[in-house]
Structure 1
């Protein structure tokens, strides 16, 4: 058995996983996002570590057979500054943080974003490490003077549990890594003006690396000292592999707070004419990569529109049933994040809209229009990432049968939804078993899912709707860039 831990943005979960990929026991606890003016979104590392200790200890207490390893995954991006002992140097800056938007605007005007994209094939957004590091260097230089490590959530936790300073190659991929070689690209650091902080970046761990749980942490977790600890990949690639993605061109769609749209690829290719968005991620297999388009739209948009109409998640199926495909003429752009959009294009000032409203528009029409807009965004991102194969879907949004059917119909292909909801922890555990030299039966894991078929009658309708969606974005982008409101 392996205990898989997924340290999400607001919830930390741990599961006791068997070799068939099923969870015997799961415990979860919420953690806090601290929001303040200027688009700041922060987390307290001590609270996050305490959440890990809480859920792992609860799961370990119920384990009825030996635990072979602790496998950790969690949120990526952001900036988690620590000292040599692993103590936080100021709060962790979440990937949702928008304070560095002015840095990105400056880098765009100076051509930095395009140069970095040409070197790595990866774009940047306000919550990625490079602009956050540049912002802190400009506004809080004393923090960097005290810091020994500039890393991410997963490696911050691993440092606390094992004493090791490390980073998984998936986390390190954006934006400083040359992904095929797994080495930091000095030209990228120079382009961002961050060469002076190279010493804060931990060397990526080699594939298959395991760490050892120290005695203090073992006592807190209720596990054995020296227990192998696997660190990564972070949650997006962990979800891809945990949901059964195996072949070149296959995709994983994580319908969570945001959309994690990713496609498995056998080689890294860089299109110099494409938007400087998305990212290439290293994976546990050094010869395979993930092309990821991490859009800022997702279930957070659903939560918002349900609040606006006075409904809850429990009402979603009925609301979607009460409005037909096309939402009775209402359409939407779903860019509601305060930090704009980051894939498949980067627009820090992107904002949402509804069009086609009338006195006859119902709450159900508003909900369906936004759900369809998120599905269009998923298609936009997956096609930009190179989708050619099957699509696995996971996350809270995939639990809705009606919304899943919309996604399948917009994509024009089936969605394969794993029976186990904790696919991030599954992916981390799969990696840990590989590192232990005891790989699991991947075909068995991939078959443990159900399939949502497209609605044949809606596919052609949504094809036209998708083209109209792309045209709406083309009209809106110049308005966003000018700082004005979005017109229909």
Structure 2
């Protein structure tokens, strides 16, 4: 067994994963998001660590099963500042944070985003290291002065459990790393004006690095000192691994709070003519890369639409069944995040919209229109990511059968969805076993999935809907930029 721990933005989950890829026991605990004016979204590191302790102890207190390792994964991006002992020097800033939106908009007009993209292939958005470091350098320089590490969620927890300062190369990839060499690009730091804070960036860990619980971590978790610990990749990648994407060309759509769309490739060549958006991420295989387009549009947009009509997630299936594909002519854009959009284009001022609504439309039409726009956003991102093979899917949003079918219909792709619900922990466990030298049978794991195929009789309708969505995005981008 491996104990997979998935430290999400709002929920921390732990699951005992067996060698066949199935979870045996599990537990979860919510984490608090601290919101403030100006797009502020923060978290308390101590609360996050406490959530890890709770779920680990809950799972392990109910079993005598020995475990081979703890496999950590979780949210990426944001800014988790700590001192040399791993104590926070301020509250962690979430990847959802929008306080640096105006800075990113200014950088875009000044060509900074284009320069960083040309150097690393990654985009910069308000909740990324680049924008947040620059913001704090201007507004809270004393915090940076007393910090020793500018890291991420997973490595912040790792430091508490092992005493080691490190970072997985997947986390470090955006936006300063050359994923081919796994080294920071100093020119990218200079372009963002944060070169003086280079000392805060830990060097990426070697591929498949293994750490060990120290005395403090062992006491926190109630597990033996010296137990192996792996840390990363972060959740967008472990979800893809857990869902079954493992070969170049294959991809994954992760339907969570946001919408992460990704494809594996062995070619990390930067296209100078492409949009300065998305990410190139290192994987545990030094010769394999993940091209990721993490849209801010996801279940948060759907939940917002449901709330507007006085409904909840449990009502989604019924509402989608009440409105036919095309939502009776209503079209939507799903960009409701306060931080705008980050992929497949960066637009800090992006907003959602509803088009074509009349008194003849009902709540089901509005909800379906928003769901269809999220599905079209997924297709837009997958095309930008270079999907050229099998598509896997996971995330809470696919728990509604009608919406999972909608993703297949809108993308025109058969969608392979694992039966195992703890996909992130599953992917982290697979990485951990490989790091320990005992890799699992990935092909056998990939067989434990359902396949949702597009409905042929609706193909033309969804092709027309996607074309209309792209036209709406182009028109809206001109308005946002102006």
Q: Using structure 2 for the length normalisation, give the TM-score.
A: 0.99
State the alpha-carbon separation in 1 of the partners of residues 457 and 317 from structure 2.
19
Q: Show CA shifts across 1:208-249 (max 9, x none).
A: 211110112212212110000000000001111111001211
1:112 Cα offset (Å):
1.1
State the alpha-carbon separation in 2 of the partners of residues 311 and 102 from structure 1.
34
Which residue does the alignment assign to 2:197?
197
State the alpha-carbon separation in 2 of the partners of residues 393 and 440 from structure 1.
20
State the alpha-carbon separation in 2 of the partners of residues 428 and 324 from structure 1.
39
- Kindly indicate whether the alpha-carbon contact (under 8 Å) linking 2:102 and 2:348 is maintained by their aligned counterparts in 1: no
Q: Show CA shifts across 1:97-128 (max 9, x none).
A: 01111221222222111011001111011000
Secondary structure at 2:393 match in 1: strand
Which residue does the alignment assign to 1:133?
133
State the alpha-carbon separation in 1 of the partners of residues 138 and 48 from structure 2.
27
1:196 Cα offset (Å):
0.9
1:463 Cα offset (Å):
0.3
Tell me the matched-pair count: 482
Q: Show CA shifts across 1:300-343 (max 9, x none).
A: 11111111111111111111111101011111111111111000
Residue 246 of structure 2 is aligned to residue 264 of structure 1: no
Secondary structure at 2:229 match in 1: strand
Which residue does the alignment assign to 1:59?
59
Secondary structure at 1:444 match in 2: helix
State the alpha-carbon separation in 1 of the partners of residues 357 and 62 from structure 2.
53
1:390 Cα offset (Å):
1.1
Q: Show CA shifts across 1:4-24 (max 9, x none).
A: 000000000000110111000
- Kindly indicate whether the alpha-carbon contact (under 8 Å) linking 1:61 and 1:222 is maintained by their aligned counterparts in 2: no
Which residue does the alignment assign to 1:371?
371
Which residue does the alignment assign to 1:485?
none
Unaligned runs of 5+ in 2: none
Which residue does the alignment assign to 2:68?
68
Moved more, 377-386 or 189-198: 189-198
Which residue does the alignment assign to 1:383?
383
Unaligned runs of 5+ in 1: 483-488
Which residue does the alignment assign to 1:357?
357
Secondary structure at 1:311 match in 2: coil
- Kindly indicate whether the alpha-carbon contact (under 8 Å) linking 1:174 and 1:279 is maintained by their aligned counterparts in 2: yes
State the alpha-carbon separation in 2 of the partners of residues 77 and 444 from structure 1.
32
Secondary structure at 1:359 match in 2: coil
**Paired residues for 1:293-308 under 5 Å:** 293-308=293-308
- Kindly indicate whether the alpha-carbon contact (under 8 Å) linking 2:162 and 2:216 is maintained by their aligned counterparts in 1: no
**Paired residues for 1:72-221 under 5 Å:** 72-221=72-221
Which residue does the alignment assign to 1:431?
431
1:83 Cα offset (Å):
0.1
State the alpha-carbon separation in 1 of the partners of residues 88 and 445 from structure 2.
37
- Kindly indicate whether the alpha-carbon contact (under 8 Å) linking 2:154 and 2:231 is maintained by their aligned counterparts in 1: yes
State the alpha-carbon separation in 2 of the partners of residues 100 and 314 from structure 1.
35
Secondary structure at 2:253 match in 1: strand
Secondary structure at 1:219 match in 2: helix
- Kindly indicate whether the alpha-carbon contact (under 8 Å) linking 1:14 and 1:27 is maintained by their aligned counterparts in 2: yes
Which residue does the alignment assign to 2:441?
441
State the alpha-carbon separation in 2 of the partners of residues 478 and 322 from structure 1.
34
Moved more, 107-116 or 366-375: 107-116
State the alpha-carbon separation in 1 of the partners of residues 310 and 457 from structure 2.
30
Moved more, 189-198 or 14-23: 189-198
**Paired residues for 1:227-266 under 5 Å:** 227-266=227-266
RMSD over aligned Cα atoms: 0.8
State the alpha-carbon separation in 1 of the partners of residues 353 and 323 from structure 2.
19
State the alpha-carbon separation in 2 of the partners of residues 367 and 334 from structure 1.
11
Secondary structure at 2:417 match in 1: strand
Which residue does the alignment assign to 2:415?
415
Which residue does the alignment assign to 1:329?
329
Q: Show CA shifts across 1:76-95 (max 9, x none).
A: 00000000000001000000
Secondary structure at 2:49 match in 1: helix
State the alpha-carbon separation in 2 of the partners of residues 250 and 6 from structure 1.
23
Task: Extract structure 1 runs of 4+ deviating beyond 4 A.
Answer: none
Secondary structure at 1:109 match in 2: helix
- Kindly indicate whether the alpha-carbon contact (under 8 Å) linking 1:60 and 1:221 is maintained by their aligned counterparts in 2: no
